């Protein structure tokens, strides 16, 4: 990227130093710990910190200039040549600067939101669109009112496709991000139960996600989950539904699984192959493929992109354990919808004698959290042989399974902590075992994999 002095000056009320010649800032940073030489520093004021206090560290790290809130005193020992751009509020200026830079580069902007699958769809789109031109996407979880502007400001000058993941926890947040980025196309992957605590119902979640339309440019298309009744009210001409139902604008059919992934037919595109576990990833791929086709990409480009897609870590990530077991790490986050999808992915795998589901707490489910955990029980069926639940909320899952008369052949285990879960899991592992890890981010269930490796090395050293 390269943000010019002229562009930054446009969002400022005045500057500290008269700029004689034009200068470009090679990056924009709000964090002195990761700031790179030649950067423009933007100090953000939070509830428990004020970035203005770290200007000296920013300069030491190589900052060329900083945006500065007008009501904050300028440090007396600041070098006379150091440029400050004075503004009323640094956060809103960060957002406005991103909006200006988006207009200057003018890529095709694709916005992606949804309760589950948005990061996967983002990764799929990135893999596909790379075949059509320079592409940039949200890095990590930079998908909120601070992270998304930083993502925009991080795109290279020659970017043709900018893929922005949009997260939210309440009303108005997606609206802000959509108005800031002005997408040319958008996706709502699905409506789950995350943020029920804040929004009260799935209907509330659907309403908040639908705010992604607010900044959609004229003639821009919104792609939605065609199997979700809560999105059925989005019937504008610029909406394209994608799903298994016959009423979908782009119907998914002829789905077949194998050891390497899935192949399926997408109406209007053709037969597609994806090297991923999980039937839900068929719909994720169909959404990405439909949007890419809408942007004019060919079948060959779409299939080539899906064939080489690399999904972000801890999303049905496969690895071989030290005892030969297959580990399926889907522990990045969890909601009831995504946990069911993960369980179905586990059951689709063939060739093992032990199928172990390690399921933990799911957070932000509000007053219905106990019932929503208990609703996992009907999905814990053969070929699953062992259920290991982790955490206080996770225990509701195993208790519900214990009361079911359909799961008598499933061994039930419970651990209060991840450390205890590792100890209970270890004796079950062999080349005949496949293990699924699924829980909300806060539980850090993936530690089990590292702990097993440490345990294994300790045994070998005895």
Q: Which pLDDT score is estimated for 198?
A: 79
Nearest CA-CA partner of 29 in 74, 66, 73 = 66
pLDDT in tens, 374-418: 999 999 999 999 999 999 999 999 999 999 866 568 999 999 999
Residue 193 in this model has a pLDDT that exceeds 90: no
- As a whole number, mean pLDDT of residues 181-190 equals 97
Domain positions in the chain are 3-91, 106-307, 317-460
Is 320 annotated in a binding site? The answer is no
* Length in residues, the chain: 462
Is 154 annotated in a binding site? The answer is no
Architecture of domain 317-460 in CATH? Alpha-Beta Complex (3.90)
Is 115 annotated in a binding site? The answer is yes
Q: What is the mean pLDDT of the chain?
A: 93
Is 329 annotated in a binding site? The answer is no
Is 120 annotated in a binding site? The answer is yes
Confidence band of 310 (pLDDT split at 50, 70, 90): confident
Q: How far is CA 68 from CA 28, 91, 157, 287, in A?
A: 14, 10, 25, 42
Q: Which pLDDT score is estimated for 461?
A: 43
Tokens 């060329």 belong to residue: 64
Confidence band of 196 (pLDDT split at 50, 70, 90): low
Residue 132 in this model has a pLDDT that exceeds 90: yes
d(CA 444, CA 458): 22
Q: Which pLDDT score is estimated for 195?
A: 67
Percent of the chain scoring above 70 in pLDDT: 96
Q: Which pLDDT score is estimated for 462?
A: 40
Is 137 annotated in a binding site? The answer is no
DSSP string, 12-69: -SEESS--SS--EESEEES-TTT--TTEEE-PPB-SS-BGGGGHHHHHHHT--EEEEE
Architecture of domain 106-307 in CATH? 3-Layer(aba) Sandwich (3.40)
SS3 163: strand
Q: Which pLDDT score is estimated for 312?
A: 81
* CB 81, CB 17: distance < 8 Å: yes
Is 385 annotated in a binding site? The answer is no
Cis preceding linkage at 383, omega within 30: yes
Token pair of 447 as six digits: 């530690």
Q: Which pLDDT score is estimated for 456?
A: 57
Token pair of 408 as six digits: 């008598």
Architecture of domain 3-91 in CATH? 3-Layer(aba) Sandwich (3.40)
Q: Which pLDDT score is estimated for 94?
A: 98
Q: Which pLDDT score is estimated for 57?
A: 97
């Amino acid at each position: 990227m390269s943000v010019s002095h002229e562009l930054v000056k446009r969002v400022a009320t005045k500057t500290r130093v008269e700029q004689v010649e034009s200068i470009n800032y090679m990056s924009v940073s709000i964090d002195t710990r990761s700031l790179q030489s030649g950067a423009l520093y933007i100090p953000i004021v939070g509830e428990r910190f004020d970035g203005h206090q770290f200007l000296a560290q920013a300069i030491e790290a190589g900052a060329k200039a900083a945006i500065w809130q007008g009501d904050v005193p300028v440090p007396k020992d600041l070098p006379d040549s150091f440029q400050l751009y004075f503004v009323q509020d640094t956060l809103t200026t960060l957002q406005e600067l991103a909006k200006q830079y988006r207009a200057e580069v003018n890529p095709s902007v694709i916005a992606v939101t949804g309760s589950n699958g948005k990061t996967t769809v983002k990764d799929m789109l990135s893999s596909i669109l790379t075949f059509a031109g320079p592409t940039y996407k949200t890095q990590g979880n930079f998908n909120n009112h601070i992270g998304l502007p930083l993502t925009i400001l991080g795109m290279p000058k020659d970017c043709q496709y900018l893929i922005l993941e949009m997260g939210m926890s309440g009303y108005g947040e997606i609206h802000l991000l959509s108005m800031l980025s002005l997408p040319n196309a958008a996706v709502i992957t699905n409506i789950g139960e995350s943020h029920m605590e804040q929004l009260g119902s799935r209907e509330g979640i659907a309403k908040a996600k639908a705010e992604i339309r607010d900044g959609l440019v004229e003639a821009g298309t919104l792609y939605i989950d065609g199997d979700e009744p809560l999105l059925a009210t989005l019937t504008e001409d610029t909406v394209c539904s994608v799903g298994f139902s016959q009423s979908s604008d782009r119907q998914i059919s002829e789905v077949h699984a194998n050891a390497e992934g899935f192949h399926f037919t997408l109406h209007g595109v053709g037969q597609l192959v994806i090297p991923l576990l999980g039937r839900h990833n068929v719909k994720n791929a169909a959404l990405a493929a439909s949007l890419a086709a809408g942007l004019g990409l060919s079948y060959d480009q779409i299939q080539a992109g899906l064939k080489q897609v690399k999904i972000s870590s801890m999303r049905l990530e496969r690895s071989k354990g030290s005892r030969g077991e297959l580990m399926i790490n889907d522990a990045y986050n969890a909601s009831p919808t995504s946990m069911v999808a993960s369980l179905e992915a586990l059951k689709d795998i063939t060739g093992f004698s032990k199928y172990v589901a390690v399921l933990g707490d799911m957070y932000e489910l509000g007053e219905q959290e106990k019932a929503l955990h208990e609703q996992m029980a009907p999905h814990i069926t053969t070929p699953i042989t062992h259920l290991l639940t982790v955490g206080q909320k996770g225990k509701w899952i195993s208790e519900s399974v214990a009361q079911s008369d359909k799961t008598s052949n499933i061994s039930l285990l419970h651990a209060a902590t991840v450390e205890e879960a590792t100890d209970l899991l270890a004796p079950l592992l062999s080349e005949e075992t496949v293990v699924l890890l699924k829980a909300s981010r806060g539980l850090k269930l993936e530690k089990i994999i590292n702990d097993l490796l440490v345990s294994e090395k300790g045994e070998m050293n005895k």
